[in-house]
């Protein structure tokens, strides 16, 4: 059977594009190599427990944000519980800072921990920038430009406030801290750096103000928990797609994409599928490997980042005795001395909600742990047990749980990510921000300017669930703009 659109992968970007295109009446076929939808924002079941695959935090449901747009366009409902406060950060000096969702509360907390000097001015500035960025992101769905029509449409949609954002693409977050005379506050600098690492995959000297201010303010928007895990964020999308005479085929790994005169043929491990259009929702380097045509190779190679520019992750999944309810589910812990084997200086842990009996039975809870592994292709973890024990020791010392509460531990290196997700190098979190790469220099949604498109976490914008969702919205918009 020939489809209107085939989509490779079933991550949030892919499912966003599939849902919006199916709503328009196009017959869509999503090809997923795994047995669950959601990619790096999903859940998996093991020995009766539901663990998060990758992402654990959910934002993007406020006004002017991508998930809100998607749900409003499709009428999909997702069961969520609002978290307040969203997160705590355990600093190297022993203090704990609570990232409240209310701006005034957060500024008061930041002043308590980091001192009153210029904290208010800095955070009010970042929050204002983040609001402008989110409003602009849905207004300017033709950005980055890759043809004249994009430029014309963006000009028609331009608003005065959007032009004020342009200089911020040239300024780094290090320069913003210098402007507010905060670089001498080392505790604050360390805090900002580790927060940027989990949201923008990079540090102050590299992250530009547009991405950085928005990344630092994600806890100032509504944060949610999905009962049963993030699989229940993507399942409603799956059900919507199937209800629109479209299909998702699991266990289908795409091996080759062949450009035809009137479309594309995708060779999979279980036969070939043809369509008029195609969207790749897998990483750019994996996408490049699917196309053998020299022209496509030359077109995409300049945008591909190698392992030395990327981050992988060492992840752990715990089953714990629920001795007391967790008031805050998400925690980042600073490890200034660095973890063995990988040198990472922070750990992120997310607990299941105490009322969630879908992921663990009464009296138990699950927890997901991750820490960055830079240059994952080169960083071979020789002693996984030693790294596990070092991470558990930090978590126990900071009072996140007691060692005797641990029922079960399992962990995965970047090699595990390659095995389960097929992602090149086991890279996670999207492309890091680098100051020499401006937003308009990032790969846009068009792959070949014929009928092939790209979404996911290695395309603009492609950071976190809201960014990946936005990438699916943009890919859909450009496909419809070009052909309908």
pLDDT per residue, tens digit, the chain (484 aa), is: 899 999 999 999 999 999 999 999 999 999 999 999 999 999 999 999 999 999 999 999 999 999 999 999 999 999 999 999 999 999 999 999 999 999 999 999 999 999 999 999 999 999 999 999 999 999 988 888 889 898 888 888 888 778 788 889 899 999 999 999 999 999 999 999 999 999 999 999 999 999 999 999 999 999 999 999 999 999 999 999 999 999 999 999 999 999 999 999 999 999 999 999 999 999 999 999 999 999 999 999 999 999 999 999 999 999 999 987 788 999 999 999 999 999 999 999 999 999 999 999 999 999 999 999 999 999 989 899 999 999 999 999 999 999 999 999 999 999 988 988 999 999 998 899 899 988 888 899 999 999 999 999 999 888 899 999 999 999 999 999 999 9
Q: The tokens of 389 are what?
A: 């024990």
Spell 151-184 as b/e; 16+ CB within 10 A means b: eebbeeeeeeebeebeebeebbbbebbeebebbe
Q: The tokens of 56 are what?
A: 């654990």
Burial (CB count <10 Å: 0-12, 13-18, 19+), residue 371: buried
The pLDDT of residue 9 is: 97
Length of the chain: 484
The pLDDT of residue 326 is: 86
The pLDDT of residue 236 is: 97
- How many whole angstroms separate alpha carbon 250 and alpha carbon 243? 17
223-225/96-99 β-pairing: unpaired
Residue 254's DSSP bridge partners are 268
Residue-range domains of the chain with CATH: 2-80+226-305+436-483 (3.50.50.60), 99-225 (no CATH), 307-426 (3.30.70)
Q: Phi/psi at 245 (nearest 5 deg)? A: 60, 30
- Which three-class secondary structure string do you get for 45-62? EECCEEEECCCCCECCCC
Asked if residues 340 and 383 have their Cβ atoms less than 8 Å apart, the reply is yes
Can you state the angle between helices 231-243 and 12-23, rounded to 10 degrees?
30
- How many whole angstroms separate alpha carbon 202 and alpha carbon 171? 15
- How many whole angstroms separate alpha carbon 331 and alpha carbon 169? 30
Burial (CB count <10 Å: 0-12, 13-18, 19+), residue 416: middle
């Amino acid at each position: 059977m020939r489809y209107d659109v085939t989509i490779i992968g079933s991550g949030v970007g892919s499912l966003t594009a599939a849902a919006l295109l199916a709503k328009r009446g196009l017959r869509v076929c999503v090809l997923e190599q795994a047995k669950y939808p959601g990619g790096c924002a999903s859940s998996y079941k093991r020995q009766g427990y539901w663990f998060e695959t990758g992402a654990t935090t959910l934002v993007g449901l406020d006004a002017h944000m991508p998930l809100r747009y998607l749900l409003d366009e499709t009428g999909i409902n997702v069961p969520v519980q609002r978290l307040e406060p969203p997160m705590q950060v355990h600093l190297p000096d022993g203090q704990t800072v609570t990232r409240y969702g209310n701006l005034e509360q957060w500024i008061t907390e930041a002043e308590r921990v980091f001192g009153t000097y210029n904290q208010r001015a800095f955070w009010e500035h970042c929050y204002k920038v983040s609001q402008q960025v989110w409003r602009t992101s849905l207004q300017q769905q033709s950005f980055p430009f890759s043809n004249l029509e994009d430029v014309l449409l963006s000009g028609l949609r331009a608003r005065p406030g959007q032009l004020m954002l342009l200089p911020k693409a040239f300024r780094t977050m290090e320069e913003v801290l210098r402007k507010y005379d905060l670089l001498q506050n080392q505790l604050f600098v360390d805090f900002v750096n580790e927060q940027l690492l989990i949201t923008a995959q990079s540090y102050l000297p590299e992250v530009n103000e547009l991405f950085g201010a928005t990344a630092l303010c994600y806890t100032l928007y509504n944060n949610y928990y999905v009962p049963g895990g993030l699989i229940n964020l993507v399942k409603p999308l799956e059900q919507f797609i199937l209800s629109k005479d479209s299909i998702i085929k699991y266990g289908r790994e795409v091996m080759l994409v062949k450009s035809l005169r009137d479309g594309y043929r995708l060779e999979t491990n279980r036969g070939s599928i043809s369509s008029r259009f195609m969207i790749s929702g897998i990483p750019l380097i994996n996408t490049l490997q699917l196309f053998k045509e020299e022209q496509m190779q030359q077109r995409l190679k300049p945008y591909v980042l190698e392992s030395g520019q990327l981050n992988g992750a060492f992840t752990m999944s715990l089953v714990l005795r629920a001795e007391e309810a967790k008031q805050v589910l998400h925690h980042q812990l600073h490890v200034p001395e660095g973890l063995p084997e990988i040198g990472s200086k922070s750990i992120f842990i997310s607990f299941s909600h105490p009322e969630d009996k879908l992921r663990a039975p009464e009296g138990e809870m699950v927890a997901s742990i991750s820490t960055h592994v830079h240059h994952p292709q080169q960083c071979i973890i020789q002693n996984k047990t030693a790294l596990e024990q070092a991470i558990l020791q930090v978590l126990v010392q900071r009072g996140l749980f007691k060692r005797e509460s641990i029922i079960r531990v399992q962990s995965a290196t970047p090699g595990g990510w390659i095995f389960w997700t097929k992602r090149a190098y086991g890279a996670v979190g999207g492309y890091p921000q680098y100051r020499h790469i401006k937003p308009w220099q990032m790969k846009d949604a068009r792959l070949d300017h014929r009928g092939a498109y790209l979404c996911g976490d290695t395309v603009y914008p492609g950071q976190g669930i809201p960014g990946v969702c936005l990438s699916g919205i943009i890919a859909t918009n450009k496909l419809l703009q070009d052909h309908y």
